[in-house]
């Protein structure tokens, strides 16, 4: 165990030793494995919240099994990613700033209880203690030997020298290849980095200085301290290890720099808002020249911090703080890319808050830096696809959220997004055609999976959001409609009812945004058929909600639960459909056939729990039907008078007073609560 | 090889079979009878000098046993061929030792035949007993020599592949084979057999005339124990037969013909033909028996189908057909497909067999349907859809010969076939037999005189409709017990109904008028119509598609018989009116619905106004709730109805109360069961205004087109959008068709109408966004950051300690080396003080 843990720790350190350049090389594979690779941190997580950890691994599993056919589908749906890697326009410096000697270092009065305050809570410390003892023992032994034979000391020294030479040679070889810049000191600053120990008092003093006077040289010192804090643990030999000895200091530095620096920079640059043009104009100005190294150091070290942190809450905090500084990133496109890559990973991680804050950051950066938008769109789209492979009760909300984020991002630049939409919809359509041609099992499987459905859903949502604002969306619109119809056509039968309900919902959405008529009921008539159910119901184990499945398992087909869900979901979809046309002159006819079926079902059903919702639906629909019928009996226009038809009951619709509107609201509400209950 | 050895008189004898205990040898009754019958010949066998024979037999032991075995077979074949070619053997008693395989006597003693005995038997002309009757030469000689022999039964017995006398021989064979197997691995054997098969097959194909005997060898291989070999053997036999079967039927020779002395050529041909038929029959029997084994099932079926396809005119067609028809209802999809394809090609290419096979096949289908009580796979009846009837012939028939009434009687009491009918057929056959020469001639030219053709067609039709009516009757009788009957075939408890209805529709013009009313009544009942309106018949068991089909068939039958019938089809309209609501897009076939729309409404000439109005309203409502394919079919019908019934155009306009026309029923009832009572004329077609907003352009276009009718005069019609009928329109728009269309490239770029402010959120709801600003509490943050730091420090500390430890350890290790070096130095110092 001891050895294993040690190995892990080494791996951890080694990983973070590598600069951004190497990390980005294996970009794709890393993306998938990233969460795993944070070996130590993950373990930490596991210990902290065992539940979350198991969920993580579970979600990781499908990502790891990249060889199954779902993966191949993902590959054909995904956008190709540009593997060309960026030079680091920030990474040419590790952000060390020359310090002003005026700034004093204070010694902490309580400096000697450093070790005590360290929170001893994990095996690592135990192990460290053990090792400390072992080292003592071995040293004593060595000393004995040395005492016994003084000449041995000479020999040992010689050997050690050799060893050091050899190692340094090897090291430098490696480092040269990887990123020599990482170790180098900023070329502009000849002074060696300070190795004075940072004490709590020192930091407080500095903070006070900086707050009083933003231009104070203490800012440099503080940023250096921030650098050390961010790089802490990256390199065991580095000075930062020696400079930071107290957890309190670490916290002080990080929290102060993150919360205050942005304002300080703004004050220094004399800009108030996120106006990018202003910033760009200033880029050649003197102020910028002066401050740039500071900003550079700040941004770069923040990135290091993000890549090191493992706790979602801290990450959320850091990202929220950093978001105000997003505008500075726009000055460094390639660094922005590095940032975006990290952000996308965090965005798809599954934690709602972290996801949201990283998305907001992504959006901020992408909107500020149009060059990065393409990169963002590809990355996020692929991340969405890979995270939507498996849908279950737990992640269904998250997927919905990610989907909305993605739509948000794609709506930033309609033209670029449109190109991508056309490509993606073309791929979907090609898969559908292939399946329709061969009707092969494998080809059908490519349709009958979450990725495909979620992908359709993405474009449906995208169209809905942008339909009103865009001219020529209708071609995309019609191909999406065709895909939806095709999927429903290729996957018939009761077992695919959940899938159909999903498609019907999509059609409802499309119908809502475009004000076109879609015969939604035809998709869900199957669920309104009466079927006999066994009187005795087996134990209701593994109750799965329709929203998290596409295909009903065979054994569930005849169950009561299935019946119930069928009818209730059908009522939901139908009421959405009816609601849309509830003020239309032909509402009575829209409702005729579904109403007949509903009535018949109500008479026949043996499930008591269904009677009430059915009756309520029937009553509401009939009421609205009578209402429209009464209203239209007194009008004099004919069906071919389009404008009059449009204006029929417009006022009432504006007021929204009809009882059906209220009914629909209550149905939607109960649906939400039902969904939440299952989560 | 065999030949050379023969010439050199170095004759190798097969090894003696191991002694078999008497008890081990099965003596079949036939054996006993046989020997009993021919007691006078027994002495020939019993008197053989076994020792002398043994000597000969065991003389040359330096050959492999299996080689000898092969040698034996080969030589035997050659010898027999020689015999066949040279009927008159010289009297030279050459004893071929390979003939010396043992023969069992009545007493169970093993004896060894000699050529001598065979010869002596050959000489004994007229003797009915011929023990040495292994194969065709026997028959050949009997044909030429045994003129007086009338013992045909004996003949056929001889023809059997496995004759009684061969039983013990075979047994010994197998014993030998077993020994062989010990030495030869199965694979080698397989390869060998494969090569042998190939050789034989090639020889057959090269020169069937002279190698006809190889058929027998191939047949023998079919009995191999290795299943792979058997498979190969039947496949190669198939290839051979497909190739060598002549284009005529081989006739059994009459006694007279046998009596006539014929030339050598003719004899040769006769022999050839005879062998061919006999092997063919044996082959068929083999196939039919193999078909029962699962391992061979598919191969056997494939062979049977292939044979039927290639030689429907040839002998033994009956068994071939029977087997193929039986497999039409196989549970194996592949086999079923093969069979139905074979039968279809049989129907299509009637020229090959002059239609005779068609009649037989249809009769077989009919018999099979009867036998299985209509519980068969739909394919069985579906194949009949490929039947072709010459309509002119049918008409001539009814006019000239007035045979129809007779036929009808036959329909009505199907179970009793009239004797006169039978007689007639017999007579026909008789005359056919008389004119054999003509028949032969015709067989060559493959033409049928019209009369005969008519006859065949009539027979086929009779059998076909018998099948159809049986299925209909059956569906009616058992319709109440649907839930009890669990069927393995698709299509519920009436698997055959759908293809049957389809067939009735297709051949409706050939159905007799007299029979019509009964058929219509039957269809009405099947379509689910009840006289009691307002209630859904609870025991209505047919699916919607089937019921729709019943309506379609009724109309087709009615229409194809010149609509002269005094049949009331109103009920079908009522039924259809209600069935429209029962339609479900996935469960039922949309094409059937479209077809029904086309047949009942679109094609009808004159429509009752009330009824038309009811249908118009219902179709409009229907289009609102169903997919665009169904909607377009409905709308096309609707437009057609509006065009024909100009008064119904009032429905397009919102006149107060709909005018005088609505006086009958004042208010429209969408749920009415009877179109006449629905009061549809009182409504307005509001649906069309919504259909104009339909997402599908075809549908919305059609809706606008219909609405534009309102502004036109009664005589005017709007511009035709398309002239297709509902069915065509349905098919055009169906998803499958849609998806097979080439994709048009969407290359247009999207443009945003208005510039959005970049800060505006479009998809995310505000309450979600609000969450973004909730920050972590300071204490929590402090704690977490601190623990993060602690972990990092722990790790680096760990790392540092580890290196230190390693360093110390290696230093200690260095001490040893140091000591070594010291010793070495000491030594050097000692050596060089």
A636 contacts on B by Cβ (under 8 Å): 654, 656
Q: Most B CBs within 10 Å: which of A48, A586, A632, A649, as the mutation test of the B interface?
A: A586
B769 contacts on A by Cβ (under 8 Å): 356
Q: Residue B173: CB partners within 8 Å, gap ≥ 6?
A: none
Q: Which residue has the higher pLDDT, A269 or A479?
A: A479
Instruction: Report pLDDT for A456.
Output: 92
Taking CB atoms and an 8 Å limit, are A248 and B764 in contact across chains?
no
Task: Round to whole Å and give the CA distance between B57 and B82.
Answer: 23
Q: What is the DSSP letter of B755?
A: P
A141 contacts on B by Cβ (under 8 Å): 808, 812
Q: Is the pLDDT of residue B236 over 60?
A: yes
Count the domains in chain B: 4
Residues B354 and B438 both lie in one domain: yes
Last-in-domain residue among B723, B738, B753: B738
Instruction: Report pLDDT for A507.
Output: 92
Taking CB atoms and an 8 Å limit, are A251 and B690 in contact across chains?
no
pLDDT band at B29 (very low <50, low <70, confident <90, very high): low
**Which range (A197-201, A392-396, B696-700) has the least confidence?**
A197-201
Return the structure tokens found at B737. 């068709």
- Asked if residue B347 belongs to a domain, the reply is yes
Task: Round to whole Å and give the CA distance between B701 and B733.
Answer: 14
A251 contacts on B by Cβ (under 8 Å): 781-782, 785-786, 789
What's the rounded mean pLDDT across residues A35-39?
39
A642 contacts on B by Cβ (under 8 Å): 689, 692
Instruction: Report pLDDT for A618.
Output: 92
Residues B192 and B336 both lie in one domain: no
Instruction: Report pLDDT for B656.
Output: 54
Q: Is the pLDDT of residue A61 over 60?
A: no
Q: Is the pLDDT of residue A86 over 70?
A: no
Q: Is the pLDDT of residue A216 over 70?
A: no
Q: Is the pLDDT of residue A52 over 50?
A: no
Residues B515 and B505 both lie in one domain: no
CA distances from B402 to B406, B407, B451 (A): 8, 10, 14
Greatest CA separation for chain A:
120
**Which SS3 state, helix, strand or coil, does residue B131 take?**
coil
State pLDDT tens for residues B783-833: 777 777 777 777 777 887 888 888 888 877 877 777 888 888 888 888 776
Owning domain of residue B472: 320-394+434-477+492-510
CB pairs under 8 A between A and B: 323
**Which SS3 state, helix, strand or coil, does residue B112 take?**
strand
What's the rounded mean pLDDT across residues A124-141?
80
| Cα-Cα-Cα-Cα dihedral sign, residues B62, B68, B72, B78 | negative
Q: Is the pLDDT of residue A588 over 70?
A: yes
Q: What percent of chain A has pLDDT over 70?
A: 69
Q: Is the pLDDT of residue B99 over 50?
A: no
Nearest to B492 by CA among B524, B530, B526, B468: B526
Task: Round to whole Å and give the CA distance between A654 and A289.
Answer: 58
CA distances from A278 to A39, A615, B315 (A): 43, 64, 100
What's the rounded mean pLDDT across residues B294-316?
85
- Asked if residue B733 belongs to a domain, the reply is yes
- Asked if residue B357 belongs to a domain, the reply is yes
Q: What percent of chain A has pLDDT over 90?
A: 3
Taking CB atoms and an 8 Å limit, are B695 and A511 in contact across chains?
yes
Q: Is the pLDDT of residue A593 over 60?
A: yes
Task: Round to whole Å and give the CA distance between B312 and B343.
Answer: 10
**Which SS3 state, helix, strand or coil, does residue B626 take?**
coil
Q: Most A CBs within 10 Å: which of B680, B763, B766, as the mutation test of the A interface?
A: B763
B806 contacts on A by Cβ (under 8 Å): none
State pLDDT tens for residues B179-204: 666 666 777 778 888 888 888 888 87
Q: Secondary structure of A65-85 in the HEC alphabet?
A: CCCCHHHHHHHHHCCCCCCCC
* Residue B380 burial by Cβ neighbours in a 10 Å radius (0-12, 13-18, 19+): buried
Residues B438 and B505 both lie in one domain: yes
Task: Round to whole Å and give the CA distance between A455 and B698.
Answer: 27
pLDDT band at A185 (very low <50, low <70, confident <90, very high): very low
Q: Most B CBs within 10 Å: which of A163, A406, A524, A638, as the mutation test of the B interface?
A: A638
| Cα-Cα-Cα-Cα dihedral sign, residues B662, B665, B666, B670 | negative
| Residue B823 CB coordination number (10 Å) | 10
Beta-bridged to residue B439, according to DSSP, are none
Instruction: Report pLDDT for B179.
Output: 67
Residues B189 and B259 both lie in one domain: yes
| Residue A414 CB coordination number (10 Å) | 22
What is the DSSP track for A620-643?
Answer: HHHHHHHHHHHHHHT----TT-HH
Taking CB atoms and an 8 Å limit, are A236 and B782 in contact across chains?
no
Residue of A nearest to B586 (CA): A492
Is residue A226 a contact partner of residue A298, using CB atoms and an 8 Å limit? yes
Residues B516 and B634 both lie in one domain: no
What's the rounded mean pLDDT across residues A42-70?
38
Ranges of each domain in chain A? 90-105+195-308, 557-678
Is residue B222 a contact partner of residue B237, using CB atoms and an 8 Å limit? yes
Instruction: Report pLDDT for B730.
Output: 84
What's the rounded mean pLDDT across residues B567-589?
83
Residues B204 and B328 both lie in one domain: no
Whose structure tokens read 């919809």? Answer: A425
Q: Residue B494: CB partners within 8 Å, gap ≥ 6?
A: B374, B471, B474, B475, B478, B479, B542, B546
What's the rounded mean pLDDT across residues A15-33?
40
Residues B506 and B519 both lie in one domain: no
**Which range (A589-598, B226-235, B423-432) has the least confidence?**
B423-432
**Which SS3 state, helix, strand or coil, does residue A510 take?**
helix
**Which range (B148-157, B335-344, B692-701, B712-721) has the least confidence?**
B148-157
Taking CB atoms and an 8 Å limit, are B743 and A9 in contact across chains?
no
Is residue A38 a contact partner of residue A315, using CB atoms and an 8 Å limit? no
Q: Is the pLDDT of residue B318 over 80?
A: yes
Torsion angles phi and psi, residue B102, rounded to 5 = -75, 155
Q: Please state the pTM of the whole predicted model.
A: 0.68
Residues B334 and B263 both lie in one domain: no
Instruction: Report pLDDT for A34.
Output: 38
Q: Secondary structure of A270-330 in the HEC alphabet?
A: CCCCCCHHHHHHHCCCHHHHHHHHHHHHHHHHHHHHHHHCCCHHHHHHHHHHHHCCHHHHC
A412 contacts on B by Cβ (under 8 Å): 758
pLDDT band at A605 (very low <50, low <70, confident <90, very high): confident
- Asked if residue B559 belongs to a domain, the reply is yes
Residues B456 and B525 both lie in one domain: no
Nearest to B329 by CA among B286, B288, B376, B297: B376
pLDDT band at B70 (very low <50, low <70, confident <90, very high): low
Cα distance from B600 to chain A (closest Cα, Å)?
A: 22
- Asked if residue B199 belongs to a domain, the reply is yes
| Residue A493 CB coordination number (10 Å) | 13
Residue of A nearest to B802 (CA): A131
Ranked by mean pLDDT, the top range of A205-209, A284-288, B743-747 is A205-209
Taking CB atoms and an 8 Å limit, are B740 and A433 in contact across chains?
yes
CA distances from A577 to A480, A510, A660 (A): 19, 11, 12
Residues B347 and B496 both lie in one domain: yes
Nearest to B28 by CA among B199, B160, B224, B207: B160
Is residue B308 a contact partner of residue B323, using CB atoms and an 8 Å limit? no
Instruction: Report pLDDT for A296.
Output: 81
Instruction: Report pLDDT for A619.
Output: 92
Average pLDDT, rounded, for chain B:
70
- Asked if residue B137 belongs to a domain, the reply is no
Long-range contact set of residues A431-439: C-beta below 8 Å, sequence gap at least 24: A431/A73, A431/A76, A432/A483, A432/A486, A432/A487, A432/A490, A432/B739, A433/B739, A433/B740, A433/B743, A435/A490, A436/A486, A436/A489, A436/A490, A436/B735, A436/B736, A436/B739, A436/B740, A437/B739, A437/B740, A439/A490
Nearest to B685 by CA among B716, B649, B718, B721: B649
Torsion angles phi and psi, residue A517, rounded to 5 = -95, 130
Taking CB atoms and an 8 Å limit, are B654 and A155 in contact across chains?
no
Residues B615 and B582 both lie in one domain: no
Instruction: Report pLDDT for B169.
Output: 54
Beta-bridged to residue A481, according to DSSP, are none
| Residue A540 CB coordination number (10 Å) | 9
Angle between helix A123-148 and helix A2-17 axes, rounded to 10 deg: 100
State pLDDT tens for residues B600-637: 888 877 677 888 888 988 999 999 888 888 898 899 88
Cα distance from B619 to chain A (closest Cα, Å)?
A: 11
State pLDDT tens for residues A251-264: 778 878 887 777 77
Is residue A550 a contact partner of residue A450, using CB atoms and an 8 Å limit? yes
Task: Round to whole Å and give the CA distance between A405 and A411.
Answer: 10
Taking CB atoms and an 8 Å limit, are A414 and B751 in contact across chains?
yes
Provide the total of helices (H) and of strands (E) in chain A, helices listed first: 33, 0
Q: Is the pLDDT of residue B389 over 50?
A: yes
- Asked if residue B439 belongs to a domain, the reply is yes
**Which range (A213-222, B75-84, B320-329, B595-604) has the least confidence?**
B75-84
Taking CB atoms and an 8 Å limit, are B752 and A316 in contact across chains?
no
Q: Among partner residues B627, B768, B809, which is closest to A401 by beta-carbon distance? A: B768
pLDDT band at B744 (very low <50, low <70, confident <90, very high): low
ipTM of the modeled complex: 0.73
Instruction: Report pLDDT for A622.
Output: 92
State pLDDT tens for residues A473-497: 888 888 898 899 888 888 887 888 8
- Asked if residue B826 belongs to a domain, the reply is no
CA distances from B46 to B16, B102, B109, B110, B166 (A): 18, 12, 9, 9, 18
Q: Is the pLDDT of residue A67 over 60?
A: no
Angle at A48 between CA A45 and CA A54, to 5 degrees: 60
Taking CB atoms and an 8 Å limit, are A465 and B762 in contact across chains?
yes
What's the rounded mean pLDDT across residues A171-183?
43
Last-in-domain residue among B696, B723, B738: B738
Cα distance from A66 to chain B (closest Cα, Å)?
A: 30
What's the rounded mean pLDDT across residues B52-68?
51
Task: Round to whole Å and give the CA distance between B549 and B503.
Answer: 11
Q: Is the pLDDT of residue A362 over 60?
A: yes
Is residue A228 a contact partner of residue A243, using CB atoms and an 8 Å limit? yes
Is residue A288 a contact partner of residue A269, using CB atoms and an 8 Å limit? yes
| Cα-Cα-Cα-Cα dihedral sign, residues B220, B223, B224, B230 | positive
Q: Among partner residues B747, B764, B811, which is closest to A408 by beta-carbon distance? A: B764
What's the rounded mean pLDDT across residues A57-73?
40
Q: Is the pLDDT of residue A46 over 70?
A: no
């Amino acid at each position: 165990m001891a050895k294993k843990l040690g190995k892990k720790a080494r791996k951890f350190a080694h990983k973070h030793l590598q600069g951004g350049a190497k990390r980005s090389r294996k970009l794709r594979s890393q993306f998938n494995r990233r969460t795993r690779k944070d070996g130590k941190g993950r373990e930490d997580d596991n210990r902290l919240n065992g539940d979350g950890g198991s969920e993580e691994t579970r979600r990781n599993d499908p990502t790891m099994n990249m060889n199954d056919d779902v993966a191949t589908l993902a590959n054909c749906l995904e956008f190709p990613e540009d593997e060309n890697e960026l030079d680091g326009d920030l990474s040419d410096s590790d952000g060390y700033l020359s310090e002003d000697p005026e700034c004093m270092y204070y010694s902490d009065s309580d400096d000697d209880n450093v070790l005590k305050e360290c929170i001893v809570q994990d095996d690592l410390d135990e192990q460290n203690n053990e090792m400390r003892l072992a080292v003592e023992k071995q040293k004593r032994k060595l000393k004995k030997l040395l005492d016994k034979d003084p000449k041995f000391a000479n020999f040992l020294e010689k050997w050690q020298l050799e060893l050091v030479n050899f190692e340094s040679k090897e090291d430098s070889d490696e480092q040269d290849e990887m990123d020599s810049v990482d170790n180098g000191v900023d070329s502009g600053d000849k002074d060696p980095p300070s190795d004075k120990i940072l004490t709590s008092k020192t930091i407080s003093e500095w903070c006070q200085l900086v707050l009083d006077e933003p231009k104070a040289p203490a800012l440099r010192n503080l940023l250096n301290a921030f650098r050390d804090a961010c790089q802490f643990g990256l390199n065991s030999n580095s000075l930062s290890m020696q400079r930071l000895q107290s957890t309190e200091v670490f916290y002080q530095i990080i929290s102060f720099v993150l919360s205050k620096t942005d304002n300080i920079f703004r004050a220094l640059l004399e800009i108030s808002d996120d106006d990018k043009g202003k910033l760009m104009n200033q880029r050649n100005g003197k102020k910028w020249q002066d401050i740039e190294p500071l900003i550079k150091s700040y941004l770069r070290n923040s990135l290091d911090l993000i890549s090191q942190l493992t706790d979602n809450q801290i990450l959320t905090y850091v990202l929220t703080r950093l978001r105000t500084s997003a505008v500075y990133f726009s000055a460094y496109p390639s660094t922005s890319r590095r940032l975006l890559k990290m952000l996308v990973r965090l965005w798809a991680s599954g934690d709602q808050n972290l996801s949201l804050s990283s998305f907001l950051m992504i959006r901020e950066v992408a909107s500020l830096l149009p060059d990065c938008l393409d990169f963002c769109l590809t990355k996020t789209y692929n991340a969405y696809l890979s995270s939507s492979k498996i849908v279950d009760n737990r992640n269904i909300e998250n997927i919905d959220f990610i989907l909305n984020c993605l739509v948000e991002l794609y709506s930033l630049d309609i033209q670029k997004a449109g190109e991508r939409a056309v490509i993606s919809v073309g791929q979907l359509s090609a898969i559908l055609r292939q399946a329709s041609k061969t009707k092969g099992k494998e080809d059908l499987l490519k349709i009958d999976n979450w990725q495909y459905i979620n992908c359709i859903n993405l474009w449906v949502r995208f169209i809905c959001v942008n339909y009103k604002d865009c001219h020529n969306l209708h071609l995309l619109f019609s191909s999406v409609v065709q895909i939806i119809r095709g999927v429903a056509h290729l996957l018939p039968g009761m077992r695919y009812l959940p899938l159909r309900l999903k498609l019907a919902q999509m059609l409802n959405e499309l119908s809502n945004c475009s004000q076109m008529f879609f015969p939604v009921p035809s998709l869900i008539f199957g669920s309104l058929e009466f079927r006999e159910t066994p009187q005795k119901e087996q134990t209701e184990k593994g109750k799965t909600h329709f929203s998290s499945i596409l295909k009903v398992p065979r054994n569930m087909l005849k169950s009561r639960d299935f019946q119930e869900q069928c009818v209730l979901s059908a009522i939901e979809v139908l009421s959405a459909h009816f609601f849309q046309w509830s003020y239309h002159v032909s509402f009575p006819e829209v409702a005729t056939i579904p109403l007949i079926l509903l009535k018949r079902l109500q008479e026949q059903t043996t499930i008591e729990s269904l009677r009430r919702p059915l009756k309520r639906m029937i009553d509401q629909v009939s009421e609205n039907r009578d209402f429209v019928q009464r209203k239209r009996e007194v009008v004099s226009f004919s069906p071919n008078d389009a404008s009059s038809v449009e204006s029929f009951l417009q006022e009432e619709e504006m007021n929204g007073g009809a009882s059906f509107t209220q009914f629909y609201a209550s149905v939607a509400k109960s649906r939400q609560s039902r969904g939440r209950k299952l989560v | 090889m065999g030949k050379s050895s023969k010439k050199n008189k170095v004759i190798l004898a097969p090894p003696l079979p191991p002694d078999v205990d008497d008890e081990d040898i099965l003596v079949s009754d036939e054996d006993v009878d046989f020997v009993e019958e021919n007691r006078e010949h027994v002495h020939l066998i019993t008197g053989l000098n076994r020792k002398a024979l043994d000597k000969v037999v065991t003389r040359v032991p330096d050959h492999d046993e299996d080689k000898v075995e092969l040698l034996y077979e080969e030589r035997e074949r050659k010898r027999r061929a020689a015999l066949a070619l040279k009927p008159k053997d010289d009297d030279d008693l050459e004893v071929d030792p390979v003939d010396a395989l043992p023969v069992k006597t009545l007493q169970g003693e093993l004896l060894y035949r000699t050529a001598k005995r065979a010869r002596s038997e050959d000489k004994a002309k007229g003797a009915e007993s011929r023990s040495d009757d292994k194969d065709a030469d026997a028959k050949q000689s009997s044909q030429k020599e045994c003129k007086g022999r009338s013992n045909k039964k004996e003949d056929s017995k001889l023809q059997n592949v496995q004759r009684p006398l061969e039983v013990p021989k075979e047994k010994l064979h197998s014993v030998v084979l077993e020994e062989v197997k010990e030495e030869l691995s199965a694979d080698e054997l397989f390869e060998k057999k494969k090569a042998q098969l190939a050789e034989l097959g090639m020889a057959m194909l090269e020169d069937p005339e002279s190698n006809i005997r190889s058929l027998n060898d191939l047949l023998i291989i079919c009995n191999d124990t290795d299943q792979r070999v058997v498979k190969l053997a039947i496949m190669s036999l198939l290839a051979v037969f497909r190739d060598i079967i002549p284009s005529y039927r081989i006739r059994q020779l009459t006694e007279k013909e046998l009596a006539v002395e014929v030339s050598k050529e003719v004899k040769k041909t006769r022999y050839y033909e005879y062998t061919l038929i006999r092997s063919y029959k044996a082959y068929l029997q083999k196939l039919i028996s193999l078909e029962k084994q699962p391992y061979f099932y598919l191969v056997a079926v494939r062979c049977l189908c292939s044979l039927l396809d290639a030689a429907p005119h040839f002998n033994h067609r009956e068994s071939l057909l029977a087997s193929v028809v039986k497999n039409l209802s196989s549970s194996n999809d592949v086999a079923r497909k093969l069979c139905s394809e074979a039968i279809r090609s049989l129907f299509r290419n009637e020229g090959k067999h002059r239609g005779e096979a068609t009649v037989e096949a249809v009769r077989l289908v009919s018999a099979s349907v009867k036998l299985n009580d209509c519980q068969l796979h739909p394919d069985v009846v579906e194949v009949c859809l490929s039947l072709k009837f010459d309509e002119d012939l049918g008409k001539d028939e009814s006019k000239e010969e007035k045979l129809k009434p007779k036929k009808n009687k036959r329909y009505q009491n199907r179970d009793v076939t009239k004797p006169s009918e039978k007689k007639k057929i017999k007579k026909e056959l008789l005359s056919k037999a008389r004119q054999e020469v003509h028949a032969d001639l015709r067989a060559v030219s493959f033409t049928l005189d019209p009369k005969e053709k008519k006859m065949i067609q009539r027979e086929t039709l009779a059998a076909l409709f018998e099948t159809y009516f049986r299925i209909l009757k059956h569906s009616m009788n058992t319709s109440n017990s649907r839930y009890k009957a669990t069927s393995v075939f698709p299509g519920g408890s009436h698997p055959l109904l759908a293809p049957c209805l389809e067939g009735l529709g297709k051949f409706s013009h050939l159905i007799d008028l007299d029979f019509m009313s009964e058929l219509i009544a039957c269809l009405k009942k099947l379509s689910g119509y009840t006289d009691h309106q307002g209630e859904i018949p609870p025991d209505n068991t047919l699916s919607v598609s089937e019921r729709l089909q019943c309506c379609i068939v009724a109309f087709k039958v009615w229409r194809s018989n010149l609509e002269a019938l005094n049949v009331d089809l109103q009920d079908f309209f009522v039924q259809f009116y209600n069935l429209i609501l029962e339609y479900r897009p996935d469960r039922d076939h949309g094409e059937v619905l479209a077809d029904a729309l086309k047949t009942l409404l679109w094609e009808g000439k004159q429509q009752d106004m009330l009824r038309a109005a009811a249908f118009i309203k219902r179709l409009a409502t229907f289009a609102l709730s169903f997919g665009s394919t169904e909607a377009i079919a409905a709308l096309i019908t609707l437009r057609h109805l509006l065009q024909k019934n100009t008064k119904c155009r009032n429905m397009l306009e919102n006149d107060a109360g709909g005018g005088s026309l609505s006086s009958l029923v004042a208010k429209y009832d969408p749920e009415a069961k009877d179109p006449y009572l629905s009061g549809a004329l009182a409504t307005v077609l509001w649906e069309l205004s919504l259909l104009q907003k339909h997402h599908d352009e075809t549908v919305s276009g059609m809706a606008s087109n219909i609405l534009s009718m309102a502004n036109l005069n009664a005589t005017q019609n709007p511009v035709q959008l398309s002239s297709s009928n509902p069915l065509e329109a349905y098919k055009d728009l169906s998803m499958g068709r849609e998806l097979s269309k080439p994709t048009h490239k969407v290359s247009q770029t999207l443009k945003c109408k208005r510039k959005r402010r970049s800060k505006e959120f479009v998809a995310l709801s505000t309450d979600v966004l609000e969450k973004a600003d909730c920050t972590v509490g300071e204490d929590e943050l402090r704690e977490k950051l601190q623990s993060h730091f602690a972990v990092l420090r722990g790790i680096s500390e760990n790392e540092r300690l580890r290196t230190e430890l390693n360093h110390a350890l290696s230093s200690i290790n260095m001490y040893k080396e140091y000591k070594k070096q010291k010793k070495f130095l000491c030594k050097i110092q000692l050596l060089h003080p």
